[in-house]
Structure 1
């Protein structure tokens, strides 16, 4: 690949598509890929990319890789992503219901482990903090959204008063869109920042 860049220095500042075609799909590189075993690539959270070209590369250029490549892409079913992949014949879709048993179980397991650690780290908290009922309420608030519960427990782990933080989290909207509920979490985070500290506020 270094030789390719030396021979074609313009690739260093080229578009993502041109770089993928000129480097990853270059015949001299393609011949080096193993042919006797599968190569698995995982692209997690494609919907989090704000680069439309990135989505196009995954949909249009990745299928040009050798058949030994297996590519797993996770994403929310955003209309633009669904439209892009709808015309790619090699794509096999597998939907995971946000409130499906497997997904909810993962959220429950993660929540229990993180809350147990928070209780252990806080010497003034009981071993079973915050209790089964409040823990289940927090899980229900997440609505199956892993990003929500991840952000929520991060808030709890950093808050001076975990009880007050928990009350604030449980008072956020339930059943709203994930965008609305995430906005509420970020608001809680911002409200706890030391904005009266000039060094923090100015950066």
Structure 2
């Protein structure tokens, strides 16, 4: 009875840790079977070498080369083996996932989930350090991660993807410094991380000897296996759509860039398009520069029905302006609120090569950060852009919608909405506060209050 009570108390303590709700990892897939063999073998050799003096593996390559796909393959393998401790996918598409504010607490919750034996240690650390969230990143990592992992005999691997998408250079440096300290304090801890080339990351990790670095290995066409991997992906994806010689021309056009190949294949495989594969192929082959993903994005948006162009631009602007991803229904509600006609569901289906919808949450997500960067460039140079992405207008529309929601007589804010017995209680003194919030505050109202 006491053990069960202790377990329940531990679980409650851990569930109170703030976590990043946005999961960029849901957008990414694992490597196609038989591809990326050489790079994955380097990673497996590093992970399995308990005598190695390099506890950090840094996979560094350009945008769109397939780093997140490799990271997803690695973490799924380590999860099956019981070695995965936690994962954090930074993303510029999310306000929370582009900072380190909830990094340590998210990793700690993962540790308790993936390695349940560590739960008591993590819970005890939380109880002993109730104000740890006000501590430095290094101290949070020591309290929530390193300390509990020290009790484990087997290796524990953390996967940290797209470190360059942490917006603050100061935070990037603090994170890397803290990770370097952590792996030296805890010999069983290993860090697998990915990033684009970044001066802050390079200056922090460049001179240290405890890292293994693989750079520019995923896109360089001088490595014949990179070209072979993209060829395997394109030929398998388009086997019944294009002839072998046309598929081979797309392989050459991709110039080793996986995001170009995957986006092109999704365009050609789309069931929502009214264009023929042959026409799409001709347009892809005609783009000015091989491997230039901006040209492909431009081609995708040009193909949208001219009557839907305005609705598309306003939807993309809203997705870009949002602090966190929005659901299909939320975007539809905002467009209806500002009297913009069009079906968001149909638009997203037609943009399926660059947008995805999470089946569980219905959140609309950008498939790749290069699209976010492309749209931001369009918003900053409206005179020269083919598409009118009005970011300031989208912020105003989102604010108006939030205010309308908050002041709604039926679903808006109310005095003592959670029916608390007294306003003198602190949050931690209220039993089942999270359950009360879920019960009395509609999900959309919670989101509106945080925007």
Residue number in structure 2 paired with 1:191: 302
Is residue 2:282 matched to residue 1:167?
Answer: yes
Partners of 1:155 and 1:13 lie apart in 2 by 47
SS in 1 for 2:159: strand
Q: Which residue of 2 aligns with 1:82?
A: 202
Contact preservation (8 Å) 2:230, 2:258: yes
Q: Deviations over 1:179-202 (max 9, x none)?
A: xx2222222222234336523489
Deviations 1:61-114 (CA, angstroms, capped at 9, x unpaired): 223232223333233333343223213320122231621112222211111111
Native 8 Å contact 1:17 1:53 kept in 2: no
8 A Cα contact 2:132 2:140, kept in partner: yes
What is the rounded CA distance, in whole Å, between the counterparts of 2:137 and 2:295 in structure 1?
Answer: 35
Aligned-partner SS, 1:92? strand
Cα pair 1:5 1:12 within 8 Å, conserved: no
Structure 2 portions without partners, runs of 5+:
1-121, 312-340, 348-396, 399-451
Query: Matched residues in 2 for 1:44 and 1:105: separation?
Result: 25
Instruction: Give the TM-score taking structure 2 as reference length.
Output: 0.36
Question: 1:163 Cα deviation (Å)?
Answer: 1.8
What TM-score results when the alignment is normalised by the length of structure 1? 0.72
Find out whether 1:31 has 2:144 as its counterpart.
Answer: no
Partner of 1:72: 192
Higher relative contact order (CA 8 A, sep 6+): 2
What number of residue pairs does the alignment pair up?
Answer: 184
**Kept after mapping to 2: 8 A contact 1:156/1:166:** yes
Pairwise mapping of residues 96-135 of structure 1 onto structure 2 (< 5 A)? 96=217, 98-99=220-221, 100-116=223-239, 119=240, 129-135=241-247
Name which one, 1 or 2, has greater alpha-carbon Rg. 2
Secondary structure, in 3 states, of the residue corresponding to 2:210? coil
Secondary structure of the 2:213 match is coil
CA gap of 1:149–1:51, structure 2 versus 1, over 3 A, is farther
Per-residue CA deviation, residues 144-186 of structure 1 (Å, 9 max, x unaligned), is 11122112212222233222221221122334xx6xx222222
Query: Is 1:41 aligned with 2:158?
Result: yes
| Structure 1 residue runs without a partner (length 5+) | 120-128
Quote the Cα distance in structure 1 between the aligned partners of 2:295 and 2:145. Answer: 41
Tell me, yes or no, if the aligned pair for 1:60 and 1:88 is still in contact at 8 Å: no
What is the alpha-carbon root mean square deviation over aligned residues?
3.1
1:184/1:61 CA distance change after superposition, 3 Å = same
